[in-house]
């Protein structure tokens, strides 16, 4: 662990080379199960968006309130690639404004791995700039989509359980 990481305060700014909020996540892991809740509609919408974008990776943002993800914001993959994704910053800013207007919180990011497993790639972790939200990865490598959720603690990957509730 680099020495400078431990004293860093909680800022949303990031450097891909600097581990972030190591302690906060570790405390959470000790005290309660790591679970993320989504509605059924959200869960299905994520999968169908990812399938629709094949053979390219799809990406999007997720919003919600009171610990439940309720909103899917489909984003354009600027890379238009089967192996990576990138979102337009202006587009994401606009979405964040809309979320706020709807009194929703930014809760997660999703993207697909058209031929890869539902686990973050090295680049996913390295170029991640959203450290306080859950990352959903949808693998479309086999017939049935596989969805997994994670948070990144620096370069460490912390799995989250997905609970689909209500509609």
Residues making contact with Zn ion (CB under 5 A): 121, 124
Largest CA distance in the chain: 46
The residue (of 43 and 110) whose beta carbon lies closer to Zn ion is 110
Cβ of residue 146: shortest distance to Zn ion, in angstroms? 13
Cβ of residue 159: shortest distance to Zn ion, in angstroms? 15
Cβ of residue 79: shortest distance to Zn ion, in angstroms? 11
Classified as helix, coil or strand, 101 is helix
Cβ of residue 97: shortest distance to Zn ion, in angstroms? 26
d(CA 84, CA 81): 6
The residue (of 64 and 120) whose beta carbon lies closer to Zn ion is 120
- Could you tell me where the beta strands, DSSP code E, fall in the chain? 35-39, 59-65, 68-75, 105-113, 134-139, 146-153, 156-165
The residue (of 2 and 159) whose beta carbon lies closer to Zn ion is 159
Chain centroid offset of residue 148 CA: 10
The residue (of 48 and 81) whose beta carbon lies closer to Zn ion is 81
Q: How many Å from the N-terminal Cα to the C-terminal Cα in the chain? A: 42
Contact (CB, 8 A) for 131 and 152: yes
Cβ of residue 60: shortest distance to Zn ion, in angstroms? 13
The residue (of 41 and 121) whose beta carbon lies closer to Zn ion is 121
Kindly report each contact of residues 13-18 with a partner whose C-beta sits within 8 Å and lies 24 or more positions away, as own/partner: 14/129, 14/131, 16/126, 16/127, 16/128, 16/129, 18/154
Quote the radius of gyration of the chain (alpha carbons, Å). 16
Nearest residue by C-beta to Zn ion? Answer: 124
């Amino acid at each position: 662990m680099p020495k400078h990481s431990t004293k860093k305060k909680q800022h949303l700014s990031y450097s891909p080379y600097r581990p972030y909020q190591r302690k906060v996540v570790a405390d959470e892991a000790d005290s309660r199960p790591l679970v993320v809740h989504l509605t059924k509609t959200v869960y299905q919408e994520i999968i169908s968006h990812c399938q629709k974008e094949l053979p390219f990776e799809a990406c999007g943002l997720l919003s919600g309130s009171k610990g439940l993800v309720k909103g899917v914001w489909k984003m354009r993959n600027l890379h238009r690639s089967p192996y990576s994704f990138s979102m337009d910053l202006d587009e994401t800013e606009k979405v964040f404004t809309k979320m706020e207007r709807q009194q929703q919180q930014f809760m997660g990011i999703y993207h697909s791995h058209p031929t890869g497993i539902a686990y973050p790639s090295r680049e996913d972790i390295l170029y991640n700039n959203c450290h306080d939200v859950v990352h959903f990865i949808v693998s479309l490598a086999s017939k049935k989509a596989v969805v997994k959720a994670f948070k990144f603690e620096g370069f460490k990957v912390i799995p989250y359980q997905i609970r689909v509730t209500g509609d």
